[in-house]
């Protein structure tokens, strides 16, 4: 297990790079949230990050998140679900997730709404968009996103808070930035719809390899794992 001080140093380094990216494009550093991705990360390593004041955590798998959330239930951790969500996991994801970032199809949204209605509560969500058009990735196609958004906005127990994407896995800057620009443009189009019960403050985009580009293109939340916890 990495020394907790190393995790603290990594967090400090990431935050410094986030601030520099904001400064390059004239954004306030506090305009971008840092989410720590805890996929395959042991609870004690997560505790080390919590000790640094980092409370926003993202998990990719429901079955991995549940025991971690239970172990850390007395901590100030705020959990988001960021992975592909199967409809048969809806009941379980609602046990820990404050927000689900990966709503990408109507049947999933309907299942979430149905369960939330039974529990008499609401849930904040993001709509996941496949801005890289890769068949290997989940997310609604960009040209179908507005239609999905309008349908999901009709579900009373879901509150759309923005959009999420995973950029193209590439070391070439331009095509990766294009993915982020595509999401930002969709955000602008969604705002014009002026749908009740929605807001578009959150653009969740950018991970360990591309979060600085994402910030420069308008991200309000970046999801960073390996640069903080080390390679999986």
Tens digit of pLDDT for each residue in 141-152? 999 999 999 999
Does this model's pTM top 0.85? My answer is yes
Percent of the chain surpassing pLDDT 70: 99
What is the per-residue pLDDT for 5? 82
What average pLDDT does range 86-97 have in this prediction?
98
Q: Output 106-115 pairs: Cβ under 8 A, ≥24 positions apart.
A: 106/148, 106/151, 106/152, 109/151, 109/152, 109/155, 109/158, 110/155, 111/87, 112/155, 112/157, 112/158, 113/155, 113/156, 113/157, 113/158, 115/90, 115/91
Q: Which residue has the higher pLDDT, 215 or 171?
A: 215
What is the per-residue pLDDT for 4? 75
Integer angstrom CA distances of residue 82 from 26, 61, 154, 171: 28, 8, 22, 23
What is the per-residue pLDDT for 2? 52
**Is residue 192 within 8 Å of 199, Cβ to Cβ?**
no
- Cβ-count burial of 66 within 10 angstroms (0-12 exposed, 13-18 middle, 19+ buried)? middle
What average pLDDT does range 196-219 have in this prediction?
96
Domain 4-229, architecture per CATH: Alpha-Beta Barrel (3.20)
- CA pair distance 183, 159, nearest whole angstrom: 19
What is the per-residue pLDDT for 223? 98
- Residue listed under structure tokens 């960073």: 224
Domain ranges in the chain are 4-229
């Amino acid at each position: 297990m990495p020394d907790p001080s190393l995790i603290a140093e990594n967090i400090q380094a990431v935050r410094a790079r986030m601030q520099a990216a904001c400064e390059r494009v004239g954004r306030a550093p506090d305009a971008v949230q840092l989410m720590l991705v805890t996929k395959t990360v042991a609870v004690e390593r997560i505790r080390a990050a919590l000790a640094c004041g980092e409370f926003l955590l993202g998990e990719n798998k429901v079955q991995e998140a549940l025991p971690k959330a239970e172990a850390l239930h007395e901590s100030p951790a705020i959990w988001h679900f960021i992975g592909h969500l199967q409809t048969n996991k809806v009941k379980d994801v609602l046990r820990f997730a404050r927000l689900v970032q990966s709503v990408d199809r109507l049947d999933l949204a309907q299942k979430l709404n149905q369960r939330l209605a039974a529990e008499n509560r609401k849930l904040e969500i993001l709509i996941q968009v496949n801005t890289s058009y890769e068949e290997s990735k989940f997310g609604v196609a960009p040209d179908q996103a507005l239609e999905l958004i309008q349908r999901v906005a009709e579900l009373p127990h879901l509150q759309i808070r923005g959009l999420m994407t995973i950029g193209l896995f590439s070391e070439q800057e331009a095509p990766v930035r294009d993915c982020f620009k595509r999401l930002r443009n969709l955000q602008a189009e969604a705002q014009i719809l002026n749908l009740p019960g929605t807001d578009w403050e959150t653009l969740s985009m950018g991970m360990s390899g591309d979060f600085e580009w994402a910030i420069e293109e308008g991200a309000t939340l970046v999801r960073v794992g390996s640069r903080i916890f080390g390679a999986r």
